[in-house]
Structure 1
Amino acid sequence: MRILVLGAGAIGGYYGLHLAEAGADVSFLVRDRRAAQLARDGLVVASRGQELRRPVRHVQAGRIEAPADLVLLTCKAYDLDGALDAIAPAVGPETIVLPLLNGLAHFDALDARFGAGRILGGACYIAVTLTPDGTIHHASPGDLILFGPRAAAAPWQVETLTTLFAATPITARSSTTILQDLWEKWCMLAAGAALTCLMRGTVGEIMATDAGPGIADALISECRAIADAHGHAPRPPSATQTHRMLTDPASRWAASMMRDIDAGLPRLEADAILGDLIRRGTAAGIAAPLLTAAHCNLQVYAARAANA
């Protein structure tokens, strides 16, 4: 199976490298600067106390010569339009696209461009960062990825991808309930992002305050109510895990958006993670005052960053 990974950043580079190590035919669609890094140093992942380095095939925009069997789409929501243009030459009649983006809004653009039947659902639970020297650092103890068809029967690529991942240290599962999985991750991520970004702290720091535990519970409840209104209330194991994660007094976790704020990055995924969820809540008659306050806060941050 020919796999094209959009970019060789934190998510795409991590999963793409492990698939290449497992013997998959993987190429990375990258920009000039990243292409130079890969040509010089190879693709490097630091994970679980070990460094994995290997040369990888890479191609730049406008130089794709044949369709892929599977396109792994790993980009930020605000880069989606450009990403669709970049991968379009690799999407042939039999190509399947696996997006690993947060939220659900990206499916509208992908379905319109390539057809809903060719777009899988995908969710990953992992903490990885890309350093300026091109090294991908894996910080979380685990790395779970879920993928599967959203409606129709699974295409052959799903079974092949499952087999390839089985030869890696990654925990990967094909799912027949991927939309439910996506809603559950979205609820966890939205509540966590709203909590840590609004309070500008880690979960543990917020839990040490008088109001922190109550605010965390309220945010979790707002997200759950919206998901429930759309027929996808988090199942008990997910609900329990989310509550444990976002109320742990010893936790040093903060959402990646919070880390972006700390780094002074001007662009955030606030609209995809919070804005779209709020809009879906409004459409269902569900009020979400704390999510709305967090989204407003992030809009102010983004406006200041844009004008700096």
Structure 2
Amino acid sequence: MSSFIDKSHPRIAIVGSGAVGCYYGGRLAQGGKEVHFLMRSDFAHVKQHGLKISSPLGGFDLPQVSCHRSTEDIGPCDLVIIAMKATTNETLLSLLPPLLKDKTVILTLQNGLGSDDFLARHFGSAHVLGGLCFVCINRVAPGVIHHLAQGQISLGEHSGPPQVRTEVLAAEFRRCGIDCKVEPSLITARWKKLVWNVPFNGLSIAAGGKDTAQILANPVLEQRVRALMREIIETAGHLGHEIPLSLIDDMIERTRTMAGYKPSSLIDFLAGSEVELDAIWGEPVQRAHAAGIAMPQVEKLHEELKARIAAR
């Protein structure tokens, strides 16, 4: 499994060309990589006008973009980056096969827990890597991406420690202007990201459409953020994934620098789109229950979210 080591000019497919897919795929294309975007709603606009990325790290335009309506049009690739919502993972069973060959690497940048396992189950663990995106980013119009802050990707192997290919892929990302590091344990890194995603994505909806600044400006909500974070860290520790409690203060202080950022789940909720309920809130609770661990804070938030969505 060494396609990225073997290829000087790998073919890359982006499956899920929303904010995340267009931003990271755009950075790779800007860096000279051959990138093919699977696009649906934005296809005609991007085909004619390309992509426009604004960013504090330096904005750029891609006037010519290789965008496609189907994965059959793209054909076999060396790297497939999945940036679509985890709510539509079943569609990957038909979308991915035209993109795959013997040594294709599948990298999922999806939120929450479970996507890596889903891909490994259907396409083989040896093909699967996971990435966690720590980024504030929005799609503000067709083909227009607004990158507000951060942007690091943390990479890990689905099964086992990092391999040579993991380091090579991280180096290629860095060469294209993407801050990237390799994680010794992908599952621990995923629980670490839940420490932010569960409270801020969840409370932004449950508290009535509040952005991160509004959440932290409310002492009651900030205390709830801290309680949720602690519960996730303690649960992860019981499951063998050690995360320091100092991460709570660190994440909250970093979130204060985001100003009024609307988390992706709030944007989905307001747009009437499906929210990643299972991947971000349901799956952690299920895994905890399977180990005999209660997560009352996360369970309560999960129920509030289901009620909010049902009443939408």
Short-chain TM bin: 0.7 to 0.9
Query: What is aligned with 1:43?
Result: 51
CA–CA distance in structure 2, aligned partners of residues 51 and 157 of structure 1: 29
Q: Conserved in 2, the CA contact under 8 Å of 1:98 and 1:119?
A: yes
One-letter amino acid matched to 2:120: D
CA–CA distance in structure 2, aligned partners of residues 173 and 149 of structure 1: 12
* 88-97 or 144-153: bigger deviation: 144-153
Is it true that 1:88 corresponds to 2:97 in the alignment? yes
One-letter amino acid matched to 2:110: L
CA–CA distance in structure 2, aligned partners of residues 224 and 165 of structure 1: 29
Query: What is aligned with 2:276?
Result: 269
Spell out, residue by residue over 1:103-126, the C-alpha distance to the aligned partner (whole angstroms, 9 max, x if none): 121123211210111111211101
Q: Conserved in 2, the CA contact under 8 Å of 1:121 and 1:179?
A: no
- C-alpha change, 1:151 and 1:240, in structure 2 (3 Å) is farther
* 52-61 or 193-202: bigger deviation: 193-202
* SS of aligned partner of 2:38: strand
Unaligned runs of 5+ in 2: 1-9
Query: What is aligned with 1:67?
Result: 76
Aligned match for 2:129, one of 116, 120, 123: 120
What TM-score do the two structures reach when normalised by structure 1?
0.87
- C-alpha change, 1:304 and 1:155, in structure 2 (3 Å) is same
Aligned match for 2:88, one of 69, 74, 79: 79
* 173-182 or 152-161: bigger deviation: 152-161
- C-alpha change, 1:238 and 1:150, in structure 2 (3 Å) is farther
Q: Conserved in 1, the CA contact under 8 Å of 2:236 and 2:243?
A: yes
CA–CA distance in structure 1, aligned partners of residues 220 and 71 of structure 2: 53
- C-alpha change, 1:250 and 1:117, in structure 2 (3 Å) is closer
Is it true that 1:178 corresponds to 2:186 in the alignment? yes
Query: What is aligned with 1:226?
Result: 235
Query: What is aligned with 1:26?
Result: 35
Aligned match for 1:161, one of 140, 159, 169: 169
One-letter amino acid matched to 2:115: H
Aligned-pair CA distance for 1:135: 0.4
* SS of aligned partner of 1:103: coil
CA–CA distance in structure 2, aligned partners of residues 209 and 44 of structure 1: 35
Aligned match for 1:282, one of 280, 284, 289: 289
- C-alpha change, 1:237 and 1:215, in structure 2 (3 Å) is closer
* 207-216 or 181-190: bigger deviation: 207-216
- C-alpha change, 1:70 and 1:286, in structure 2 (3 Å) is same
Query: What is aligned with 2:307?
Result: 300
Spell out, residue by residue over 1:49-88, the C-alpha distance to the aligned partner (whole angstroms, 9 max, x if none): 8541111212221534642111000010111111342122
Aligned-pair CA distance for 1:254: 4.6
* SS of aligned partner of 2:103: strand
Q: Conserved in 1, the CA contact under 8 Å of 2:233 and 2:244?
A: no
Q: Conserved in 1, the CA contact under 8 Å of 2:111 and 2:279?
A: yes
One-letter amino acid matched to 1:271: D
> Aligned ranges for residues 134-283 of structure 1 at < 5 Å?
134-140=143-149, 142-152=150-160, 154=162, 157-200=165-208, 201-235=210-244, 238-245=247-254, 248=256, 252-261=260-269, 263-283=270-290
One-letter amino acid matched to 2:311: R
* SS of aligned partner of 2:286: helix
- C-alpha change, 1:207 and 1:84, in structure 2 (3 Å) is same
* SS of aligned partner of 2:102: strand
Aligned-pair CA distance for 1:156: 5.6
Q: Conserved in 1, the CA contact under 8 Å of 2:16 and 2:39?
A: yes
What TM-score do the two structures reach when normalised by structure 2?
0.86
One-letter amino acid matched to 1:52: F
Q: Conserved in 2, the CA contact under 8 Å of 1:70 and 1:157?
A: no
CA–CA distance in structure 2, aligned partners of residues 94 and 254 of structure 1: 38
Aligned-pair CA distance for 1:236: 5.4
Q: Conserved in 2, the CA contact under 8 Å of 1:207 and 1:249?
A: no
- C-alpha change, 1:180 and 1:210, in structure 2 (3 Å) is closer
Aligned-pair CA distance for 1:18: 0.9
The number of residues matched between the two structures is: 301
* SS of aligned partner of 2:158: coil
Q: Percent identity?
A: 27
One-letter amino acid matched to 1:282: H
CA–CA distance in structure 1, aligned partners of residues 106 and 18 of structure 2: 18
Query: What is aligned with 1:17?
Result: 26
